[in-house]
A and B are shown apart, each in its own frame.
Chain A
Amino acid sequence: MKAKVHVMLKNGVLDPQGEAVKHALGTLGFEGVDGVRQGKVIELDLADGTSEATVAEMCEKLLANTVIESYSIEMV
């Protein structure tokens, strides 16, 4: 089984990289991009039966820094 973990900066945390991407999109002529937020996706190959709670623990302990990042888990 697999899990996909999406890690994003929390709302309100300034994302300088997202801002730079937004600026570059504007330079390329794409209009109307009001905001860009950059995050990461982490794919985990897991032993069958691994619970979502265990993945949440992985997020809390390592995969996300919950001071500035939020995460969501997709079990697939």
Chain B
Amino acid sequence: MKAAVLTFPGSNCDRDLAEGFQQAGADVTMVWHKDTELPSGLDVIGIPGGFSFGDYLRCGAIAARSPICSAVVAFAKRGGHVIGICNGFQVLCETGLLPGVLMRNAGLKFVCRQQGLQVGTADSPYTSGFAKGARITVPIAHHDGNYSADAEIVARLKGEDRVAFTYLDNPNGSVDDIAGVLSENRRVLGMMPHPERATEAAHGNTDGAKLFAALIGSMATA
């Protein structure tokens, strides 16, 4: 099981994300943003949280046009698995792999707290370890997590069962409380909450570990 984690200037959750994959049993390679090729035989790519390129222009905008992201888009279009967390979610929206956009939090404040979520679907490699409707807790830490998409896109996401997680107590103004969305083929997940920060007893909460375990488990049996 091979995972890659991207690092951009300003990424700050890249090593935590690598730990999350490793704990679930994956071999992890760190990949620098200037690289043009991904390691061969890769199963999943993680795009970490942080403030890539200082959030210049728009969050995730510069990272989405970096050399490695062309390879990530090609990988996803071939059916590869990609998970983007926080800034990674913003990057995935900027690449167009996921619909919508993350705007400034409605309350204008940076929000950092343990966040209650509801699992929107168990039908994905990332969420198969949860029951649909289960309530879990995952930390959030973001300034631009206000998921916005037009009514047509939101209706399609819901109709196709692609809302992976919703907030129980909407912290940022996201449309319909959306905290994470899946691609059409269900192999690309973008989410604002940080499952990699809830993977060990020392974190005080291990709900996030179930996501990595389900993902790596689904690949082992595939």
Contact = CB atoms under 8 A, between A and B. Distances in A.
B58 A16 contact: no
A47 interface: no
A18 B78 CA distance: 41
A16 B103 contact: yes
B148 A13 contact: yes
Nearest to B148: A68
A20 B61 contact: no
**Which bracket fits the contact residues of A?**
10 to 19
A55 B1 CA distance: 44
B157 to A, nearest CB: 14
**Which bracket fits the contact residues of B?**
10 to 19
Contact of B173 (A16, A17, A63, A65): A16
Q: Would you call the interface of chain A mostly helix, strand, loop, or mixed?
A: helix
Contacts, number: 34
Nearest to A19: B108
Contacts of B104: 16-17
Interface in B72-129: 93-94, 99-101, 103-108
A53 interface: no
A63 B62 CA distance: 10
A62 B57 CA distance: 9
A16 B172 CA distance: 11
Nearest to A68: B101
13 contacts: A14-B148, A16-B173, A17-B104, A17-B108, A61-B65, A62-B57, A62-B61, A62-B65, A65-B58, A65-B61, A67-B93, A67-B149, A68-B148
